[in-house]
Amino acid sequence: MSRRAAFAQVAKVTGKAPASAETSARLPGCLRHLWDWFVALLPVYAVEEGAVRPAELAADIKARFGMRATGFEIGLLLDLLELWRTQVRPEQEKD
């Protein structure tokens, strides 16, 4: 998935373009699959309340991508999801 597609997905879910959409930073190749997983799973986990269960996240990755995520990858995804939620929550509370 391209960065443009990823930012379009984030904008679709949040209703606004991310502030960092204009940055030129690129992920190393070894992390791109994690970003793809994050963007693909974001619509599912964006609407859920409460903590994300690591086993559920691993099962979703296996079902969607046919790959078994490592504990390290699950940890990074959990961190990304939590960061995303903390960025979105203040905006939702204003509405």
Q: Say whether pLDDT at 15 is over 60.
A: yes
Q: Say whether pLDDT at 25 is over 80.
A: no
The residue-averaged pLDDT of 50-65 equals: 93
DSSP 31: G
Q: What is the reported pTM? A: 0.67
Residue with tokens 């790959």: 67
**Angle formed at CA 72 by CA 66 and CA 78, multiple of 5 degrees:** 85
Q: Say whether pLDDT at 78 is over 80.
A: yes
Which of the four pLDDT bands, split at 50, 70 and 90, describes residue 85?
Answer: confident
Residue with tokens 């070894």: 30
Structure tokens given for 23: 């940055």
The residue-averaged pLDDT of 72-86 equals: 91
How far is C-alpha 33 from the geometric centre of its chain's CA atoms?
11
Residue 5 confidence (pLDDT): 75
